Amino acid sequence: MKKLTIIFSAWLLLLGCGQGGKQDKVKDMVGYITSIDHQEILVTELIAENEKAHPGAAFYKVSSETEISSTDGKEMSFSDLQIGMKVEMWYTGEVEESFPQRTSAAKILVHTDEHSVNLARAIEAAIHHMEPLSIWWVVSAEAIGEGYEVLLSELSGESSPILIQITPSFQVIE
């Protein structure tokens, strides 16, 4: 009986490891790309808990195995990604428990409807207007009348959020 238990346990262990190296994709966050650098993107999202908002953020390493597509079904590549884009992220593998977290992107779904594309352009203009050495997260972004308002905050939390107004031609209003 003891041998049977050991054999069964070993079989279960092998079965669990027998995925052929392929790991399941885990849906992670829906947010905005706020930084792109060397095959890695930073995606931030607003997390509202108990009437208090705080950022969620993760660096995703993008590889040739990462599936990148748009909401209208078109395949995309890393070079198509831009700051400000609204994305849905899936990861695979380990998640480094730091802030921001770090993991490998398994799938990126880019929102390409007209509203999302215009907000992406407004967010990109706002982020490029800010201090380049800081890491920003998008607290909110919305169309207001003919233009846009983007509320950014430093990811470190060291400053108050900054409201940036953007014209319909995606210029920052000083």
**What radius of gyration, in Å, describes the C-alpha atoms of the chain?**
20
CB atoms within 10 A of CB 136: 25
Convert the pLDDT of each residue in 73-123 to its tens digit.
999 999 999 999 999 999 998 888 888 999 999 999 999 999 999 999 999
Q: Which pLDDT does position 171 carry in this prediction?
A: 96
Q: How far apart are CA 154 and CA 161, in angstroms?
A: 7
| Average pLDDT for the chain | 86
pLDDT bracket for residue 22 (50, 70, 90): low
Q: Best-predicted range by mean pLDDT among 12-16, 18-22, 30-34?
A: 30-34
Q: Are 92 and 25 in contact (CB under 8 A)?
A: yes
Q: Are 172 and 122 in contact (CB under 8 A)?
A: no
Q: How far apart are CA 80 and CA 85, in angstroms?
A: 10
Which tokens go with 6? 């050991």
Q: Cα(first)–Cα(last) distance of the chain, in Å?
A: 79
Looking at per-residue pLDDT, the higher value among 134 and 16 belongs to 134
Beta 26-37 vs 101-110: how paired, if at all?
A: unpaired
Judged on CB neighbours under 10 Å (0-12, 13-18, 19+), 106 is: buried
What value, to the nearest 5°, has the Cα angle with vertex 110 and ends 105 and 114? 170
Which tokens go with 26? 């885990």
Which tokens go with 174? 């000083």
pLDDT bracket for residue 70 (50, 70, 90): very high
pLDDT bracket for residue 149 (50, 70, 90): very high
For the chain, list the strands marked E by DSSP.
Answer: 26-37, 40-49, 52-61, 67-70, 86-96, 101-110, 136-144, 147-154, 162-166
